[in-house]
A = this chain, B = another copy of it.
């Protein structure tokens, strides 16, 4: 539900009929909205915030006290962020189709998924969990290499299709690469897509990228942030020296499951939760520190 924050308080007031003073009061007293800020500190709201204000107004009109109404409005918004029926069923269908090497069926499921929900939700509730589970089955020996290859191919095609023109725009830019030797790139692509919906420009180098190559690409693209991803911490530790050098020159983050456990002798931001969650976190951080 999160779109790019664009509306200032006056416009939100005009669209909702709630005075700017009251909007600020609701934010201060109940935390109803948590708008991003412009460089100069002006509040920037999303369409989703407008929906939340409308919910607040409905509850007020029904006679609910303001504090309660705010709580309810926040609840309904949270509900909407996790749409109910579709995703779990779709995830099972997707899994069945891919296990049967049935590419058209898998694409049909993905069609319905993307038609019914946002990229964020599709990634968070279906694709990433599916990849997670595939990885676990793989570790247990329950998934064949063939299945893993086939599924990766289908999903990579769809996700890269969505990545179309993700390098375009004016937002902060992020250079993405997998650590040397790392071949699991789909989580990184998902992360890139989640960043894209938040207004970022993406530069993508893909699987198994030497750190020097990241450095050389960064010198051309001058990204706001560089993110290097790996599922195992060893790939970070084996390149600690080069990574430290990169961290000195660039704003660097490490991502993927391996980021949390990596034992490194320098400070670095680690993004080891889900792609969508970390994209949100990185976006907040970028807004604060620009």
A75 near B: Cβ within 8 Å? yes
Give, as a whole number of angstroms, the nearest-CB distance from A34 to chain B: 10
Mark contacts of A14-43 with chain B using CB atoms, 8 A cut-off: 1 yes-contact digit, 0 otherwise: 110000000000000011100000110010
A77 near B: Cβ within 8 Å? yes
A242 near B: Cβ within 8 Å? no
Nearest to A8 among chain B residues (CB) is B65
Copies in the complex: 2
A276 near B: Cβ within 8 Å? no
Are B153 and A156 in contact (CB-based, < 8 A)?
no
Query: For residue A145, which residues in chain B have a CB less than 8 angstroms away from its CB?
Result: 209-210, 212-213, 216
Give, as a whole number of angstroms, the nearest-CB distance from A81 to chain B: 16
Query: For residue A165, which residues in chain B have a CB less than 8 angstroms away from its CB?
Result: 77, 103-104, 107
Are A213 and B146 in contact (CB-based, < 8 A)?
yes
A68 near B: Cβ within 8 Å? yes
* A6 and B213 contact, Cβ closer than 8 Å, known pairs A167-B104, A169-B71, A205-B146: no
The docked-state distance in angstroms from the alpha carbon of A4 to that of B101 is: 25
Nearest to A59 among chain B residues (CB) is B6
A115 near B: Cβ within 8 Å? no
Query: For residue A171, which residues in chain B have a CB less than 8 angstroms away from its CB?
Result: 71, 75
* A101 and B170 contact, Cβ closer than 8 Å, known pairs A149-B213, A213-B146, A214-B146: no
Are A6 and B150 in contact (CB-based, < 8 A)?
no
Are A64 and B11 in contact (CB-based, < 8 A)?
yes
Give, as a whole number of angstroms, the nearest-CB distance from A283 to chain B: 13
A251 near B: Cβ within 8 Å? no
Q: In the complex, which of the residues B100, B104, B170 contacts A30, with contact meaning CB atoms closer than 8 Å?
A: B170
Query: For residue A156, which residues in chain B have a CB less than 8 angstroms away from its CB?
Result: 156, 160, 206
The docked-state distance in angstroms from the alpha carbon of A273 to that of B4 is: 46
Given contacts A38-B65, A74-B170, A146-B217, 16 further A-B contacts (CB under 8 A): A6-B64, A8-B65, A11-B64, A11-B65, A42-B65, A70-B170, A71-B199, A74-B169, A75-B170, A144-B213, A144-B216, A146-B205, A149-B205, A149-B213, A157-B164, A160-B160
17 residue pairs A–B, Cβ–Cβ below 8 Å? A6-B64, A7-B63, A7-B65, A11-B65, A15-B63, A31-B170, A74-B168, A77-B165, A104-B168, A144-B217, A145-B212, A149-B177, A150-B206, A150-B217, A153-B205, A156-B156, A157-B163
